[in-house]
């Protein structure tokens, strides 16, 4: 005959423990299933009948299971939290309260400026689409969400649902329903805990540009401190996310900050080397000038000594002194000339 149609809807009471490290989230919800079994129809009364929970095992129920379930629990306090209600035409409402931990495949390329979509997927374990068909309820909201839900890191933006019957080659085509929870990460916490502190560390590293070049301990201490701080912050945020092979947005930010801090540290080394070269060049020029001044002073002393020698000698009056080079002068007097060494006083 025709496959039995099972109508499903959810009432999500809570969403918590969204973990990027484990790629999972936890939720508490009411799972409601509606189907029609004409064998249970009755005409003695037009009122619905609610069965005791001890009679559940005597009835047939669809073999609904959750495909992306990691772990879950059925609430039994104070009594088993499930309901079966019969209608006169044989329609059955089956509701149960569950706490589930579900796998959530997260895409962390833009972390922490990312949006995530987590899902819950229902299927039939044994019955194919020839026996069962799953559909979302049309007489009620397919996925109801508690408006009081408040997540610490995310904001629940939207909920959607689809029918996802799958054809498996080895066993057949199985009914499937899927609900999506669209989550947007709250960025304010990361601005205060990650982005702003790292930015302040970078600005602190730039303070070294205004420190005197000769204040070596201050510059070295500031550079090493900011480098260690950035490294600690970078390793700290890595502990909250799984190790992945791709680069995340937070990695780009931290790497950029680290490059700026490292650049300010290297800037001092470059400036220090250039300053030493400049000092050495100035010292060389100063020594060269001193040597030239010394030679000039020596030349003046030699010429003054020569003049005194010539003035003391009566035979050398009315003479002419002609410079030959830096060390020798030519003395011309009375038709003869002599060459004197400037450096020799007794010439």
We report the CATH number of the domain holding residue 148 as: 2.70.170.10
Considering the domain boundaries, does residue 293 fall inside one? no
Count of CB atoms situated within 10 Å of the CB of 34: 20
Q: Which of 34-43, 102-111, 202-211, 298-307 comes out lowest in average pLDDT? A: 298-307
> Do 204 and 160 reside in the same domain of the chain?
no
Mapped onto helix, strand or coil, the DSSP state of residue 313 is coil
Q: Which of 132, 156, 185 is where one domain is finished?
A: 185
pLDDT band at residue 66 using 50, 70 and 90 as cut-offs: very high
pLDDT of residue 334: 47
Query: For residue 79, what are the contacts with CB-CB under 8 A and spacing of at least 6?
Result: 53
pLDDT band at residue 91 using 50, 70 and 90 as cut-offs: very high
Q: How, if at all, do strands 132-136 and 4-19 pair? A: parallel
> Do 274 and 153 reside in the same domain of the chain?
no
pLDDT of residue 335: 45
Q: Which of 185, 212, 238 is where one domain is finished?
A: 185
pLDDT exceeds 90 at position 222: no
Count of CB atoms situated within 10 Å of the CB of 66: 16
Range of the domain at 234: 189-282
Q: Which of 166, 185, 204 is where one domain is finished?
A: 185
We report the CATH number of the domain holding residue 193 as: 1.20.58.390
Looking at per-residue confidence, does 66 or 316 come out higher? 66
Query: For residue 306, what are the contacts with CB-CB under 8 A and spacing of at least 6?
Result: 321, 329, 340, 342, 345, 347
- Overall number of domains in the chain: 3
> Do 133 and 162 reside in the same domain of the chain?
yes
> Do 227 and 146 reside in the same domain of the chain?
no
> Do 11 and 152 reside in the same domain of the chain?
yes
> Do 197 and 181 reside in the same domain of the chain?
no
Looking at per-residue confidence, does 198 or 346 come out higher? 198
pLDDT of residue 304: 60
pLDDT in tens, 14-42: 998 899 999 999 999 999 999 999 988 99
Q: Could you check whether the bond before residue 78 is cis, i.e. omega within 30 degrees of 0?
A: yes
> Do 204 and 179 reside in the same domain of the chain?
no
Q: Supply the DSSP symbol for 325.
A: S
Considering the domain boundaries, does residue 23 fall inside one? yes
DSSP strand E in 219-277: where? none
Considering the domain boundaries, does residue 318 fall inside one? yes
């Amino acid at each position: 005959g025709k496959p039995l149609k099972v109508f499903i809807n959810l009432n999500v009471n809570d969403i918590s423990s969204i973990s990027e490290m484990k790629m999972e989230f936890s939720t508490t919800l009411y799972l409601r299933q509606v189907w029609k079994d004409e064998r249970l129809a009755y005409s003695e009364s037009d009122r619905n009948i609610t069965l005791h929970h001890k009679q559940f095992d005597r009835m047939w129920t669809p073999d609904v299971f959750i495909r992306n379930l990691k772990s879950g629990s059925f609430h039994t306090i104070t009594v088993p939290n499930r309901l079966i209600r019969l209608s006169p035409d044989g329609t059955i409402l089956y509701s149960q309260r569950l706490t589930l931990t579900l796998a959530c495949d997260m895409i962390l390329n833009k972390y922490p400026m990312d949006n995530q979509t987590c899902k819950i997927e229902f299927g039939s374990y044994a019955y194919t689409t020839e026996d069962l068909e799953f559909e979302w309820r049309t007489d009620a909201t397919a996925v109801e969400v508690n408006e009081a839900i408040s997540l610490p890191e995310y904001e629940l933006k939207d909920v959607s649902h689809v029918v996802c019957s799958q054809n498996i080659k080895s066993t057949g085509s199985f009914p499937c329903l899927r609900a999506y929870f669209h989550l947007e990460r709250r960025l304010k916490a990361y601005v205060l805990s990650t982005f702003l502190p790292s930015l302040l560390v970078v600005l602190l590293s730039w303070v070294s540009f205004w420190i005197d070049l000769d204040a070596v301990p201050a510059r070295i201490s500031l550079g090493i401190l900011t480098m260690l701080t950035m490294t600690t912050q970078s390793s700290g945020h890595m502990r909250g996310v799984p190790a992945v092979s791709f680069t995340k947005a937070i990695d780009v930010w931290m790497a950029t900050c680290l490059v700026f801090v490292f650049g300010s540290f290297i800037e001092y080394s470059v400036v220090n080397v250039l300053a030493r070269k400049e000092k050495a060049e100035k010292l060389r020029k100063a020594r060269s000038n001193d040597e030239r001044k010394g030679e000039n002073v020596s030349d003046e002393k030699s010429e003054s000594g020569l003049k005194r020698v010539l003035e003391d000698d009566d035979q050398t009056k009315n003479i002419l002194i002609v410079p030959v080079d830096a060390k020798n002068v030519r003395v011309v007097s009375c038709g003869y000339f002599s060459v004197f060494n400037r450096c020799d006083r007794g010439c």
